[in-house]
Amino acid sequence: MAFEVYQLPEEHQAIRAAVRELCDAKVAPNAAEADEAAEFPQASYDALRASEFHAPHIPVEYGGAGADALATAIVIEEVARACVSTSLIPAVNKLGTMPLLLGASDELKDRYLPPVARGEAMFSYCLSEPEAGSDAGGMTTKAVRDGDDYVINGAKRWITNAGVSDYYTVFAVTEPGIGTRGISAFVVEKADPGVSFGAPEKKLGIKASPTREVYFDNVRIPASRMIGGPGEGFKIAMQTLDHTRVTIAAQAVGVAQGALDVARGYVRERQQFGKPIADFQGVQFMIADMGMKLEAARQLTYAAAARSERGDADLTYFGAAAKCFASDAAMEITTDAVQLLGGYGYTRDFPVERMMRDAKITQIYEGTNQVQRIVMARQLLKGIV
């Protein structure tokens, strides 16, 4: 029997070790300050870029590291263990570029993927709108054909790394009145006339990753910047999320691991009633449950990553399941870590309060966990899984 299938290949273990070493040295030390200042973690980005961990998924033919879906998930997991805000750099670079990898022309790929691979630009994803969150098909941003161009008008909300990224995958209605079949996707550049940004959102967590609205005021772009064909945008958007929900699951696993690591060290050292609190059964039960949930989430995430790499028919289910289970687990584990540290856990002297705040977003973005359960149920009832 091939028991080795249940162990990561050596090259993936090596990637984990390399990312962890880098993050312990050059990402974790910046996390608290970046969170406190609510500023983009430039030093951490520079460290990731120097080691080619900022966008590891970009194929080799475009100058990238060519990491597979599992390796990319491991990178994001390990960065999130140190700083969830920083993990949004490789995660959102994948989110923004995945539509190109799935459906763009060779011309678009050749133009926009190499700068991301070199770390000269980042790529964001513009799907949500003020009145179109879970109901992404209800978007009102429009792209109107004008000769060899399209003119885009509208606004996108909750856009991660907006204002920092140079490139944006933007979804807009090109044929009104036919629902999601009338949505197309485009590449828009920050430098395009008419592109502007709202003020940074003041958030509970991931404070060092800027979240802003993006405005399009008569933004004229060449028709060649359409990703795929007219009306294919919504399909590309949903296919993208099937793949990138795995990265959110990896984020959740990473922050949960970070919280467990801190809590495990603390309970071994903290003395009460003349002995370490790790000796108390109530504490041991909490640690055991945290570890059990974490490993279950990790294995489901890796199973989803393998399906993402292969493009399996049941990826939609596994991507939703991994994102939903791992983020719920991360919220529970980080909350328990705060509890185990007691009063110290509630202060900024320890990182678990930040981890708890950061973990919450993984239950919300790229589809709330309520939406994930709808997705899973539909897949199960169709007999796809």
pLDDT tens digit string along 281-309?
A: 999 999 999 999 999 999 999 999 999 99
Q: What value does the mean pLDDT of the chain take?
A: 97
Q: Which two tokens stand for residue 360?
A: 């919450």
> Looking at residue 4, what is its pLDDT?
52
**Is residue 191 within 8 Å of residue 163, measured between CB atoms?**
no
> Looking at residue 250, what is its pLDDT?
98
Written out in words, the top-level CATH class of the domain with range 3-117 is mainly alpha
> Looking at residue 7, what is its pLDDT?
86
Neighbours of 380 (CB within 10 A): 12
pTM listed for this prediction: 0.96
Q: Report residue 6's pLDDT band, with 50, 70 and 90 as the boundaries.
A: confident
Segment 190-214 mean pLDDT: 98
Segment 378-382 mean pLDDT: 97
- Annotated catalytic residue: which of 129, 232, 353, 366? 366
Domain ranges of the chain: 3-117, 123-233, 238-381
> Which superfamily does CATH assign the domain made up of 238-381 to?
Butyryl-CoA Dehydrogenase, subunit A, domain 3 (1.20.140.10)
Domain 123-233: which topology? Butyryl-CoA Dehydrogenase, subunit A; domain 2 (2.40.110)
> Looking at residue 5, what is its pLDDT?
56
Segment 28-44 mean pLDDT: 97
Residue 245 has pLDDT above 90, yes or no: yes
> Looking at residue 1, what is its pLDDT?
41
* pLDDT > 90 in the chain, percent: 96
Segment 240-247 mean pLDDT: 98
Residue 366 annotated among the catalytic residues of the structure? yes
**Is residue 186 within 8 Å of residue 167, measured between CB atoms?**
no
pLDDT, tens digit, for every residue of 124-172? 999 999 999 889 889 999 999 999 999 999 999 999 999 999 999 999 9
pLDDT, tens digit, for every residue of 84-117? 999 999 999 999 999 999 999 999 999 999 999 9
Segment 261-265 mean pLDDT: 98
